[in-house]
Structure 1
Amino acid sequence: MIELKEVYKTYPNGVLAVNGINVKIRQGEFVYVVGPSGAGKSTFIKMMYREERPSKGTILINGIDLAQMKDSKVPLLRRNIGVVFQDYKLLPTLTVYENIAFALEVIEENPKTIKKRVMEVLDLVKLKHKARFLPTELSGGEQQRVSIARSIVNKPKVVIADEPTGNLDPETTWEIMDIFKEINDRGTTIVMATHNKDIVNNLKRRVIAIEGGKIVRDQARGVYGYES
Structure 2
Amino acid sequence: MTSMIKMKKVFKVYKNGVTALNGVDVNIEQGDFVYVVGPSGAGKTSFVKMMYREEVPSKGEVYINGVELGTLKKKDVPFLRRDIGVIFQDFKLLQRKSVYENVAFALEVIEENPKKIRRRVMNVLDQVGLKHKARFIPAQLSGGEQQRVAIARAIVNNPKVVIADEPTGNLDPETSWGIMRTFEDINSSGTTVIMATHSKDIVDKMKKRVIAMENGQIVRDEQQGEYGYEA
Range class of TM-score, shorter chain: over 0.9
Which moved further from structure 2: 103-112 or 65-74? 65-74
Which residue of the other structure, out of 191, 196, 200, is the alignment partner of 2:194?
Answer: 191
Letter of the structure 1 residue corresponding to residue 99 of structure 2:
V
Letter of the structure 2 residue corresponding to residue 28 of structure 1:
G
**TM-score (structure 2 length as normaliser):** 0.97
1:75-108 deviations in whole A, cap 9, x for unaligned?
1111110000000000001100000000000111
1:146-185 to structure 2, matched below 5 A, reads 146-185=149-188
- 2:103 matches 1:100: yes
Which residue of the other structure, out of 80, 84, 99, is the alignment partner of 1:81?
Answer: 84
Letter of the structure 1 residue corresponding to residue 46 of structure 2:
T
Give the 4+ runs in structure 1 shifted more than 6 A: none
Please name the residue that 2:216 is paired with. Answer: 213
- 2:138 matches 1:140: no
**TM-score (structure 1 length as normaliser):** 0.98
- Compute the displacement of 1:38 (Å): 0.3
> How far apart, CA to CA, are the structure 2 residues paired with 1:136 and 1:76?
31
1:49-76 deviations in whole A, cap 9, x for unaligned?
1111111111101100111111111111
1:114-149 deviations in whole A, cap 9, x for unaligned?
001001100100000000000011000000000000
Identity %: 69
1:143-176 deviations in whole A, cap 9, x for unaligned?
0000000000010000000000000000000000
Tell me, which stretches of 5 or more residues in structure 2 are unaligned? Answer: none
> How far apart, CA to CA, are the structure 2 residues paired with 1:75 and 1:95?
24
Tell me, which stretches of 5 or more residues in structure 1 are unaligned? Answer: none
Please name the residue that 1:39 is paired with. Answer: 42
Instruction: Say what the alpha-carbon RMSD is for the aligned residues.
Output: 0.9
Aligned length: 227
Please name the residue that 2:27 is paired with. Answer: 24
Please name the residue that 1:121 is paired with. Answer: 124
Letter of the structure 2 residue corresponding to residue 181 of structure 1:
E
CA contact (8 A) 1:211 1:226 kept: no
- Compute the displacement of 1:226 (Å): 5.3
Which moved further from structure 2: 11-20 or 66-75? 66-75
> How far apart, CA to CA, are the structure 2 residues paired with 1:181 and 1:191?
11
Please name the residue that 1:56 is paired with. Answer: 59
Q: Secondary structure at the match of 2:186?
A: helix
Q: Secondary structure at the match of 2:201?
A: helix
Q: Secondary structure at the match of 1:119?
A: helix
> How far apart, CA to CA, are the structure 1 residues paired with 2:22 and 2:189?
33
Letter of the structure 1 residue corresponding to residue 181 of structure 2:
D
Letter of the structure 1 residue corresponding to residue 201 of structure 2:
D
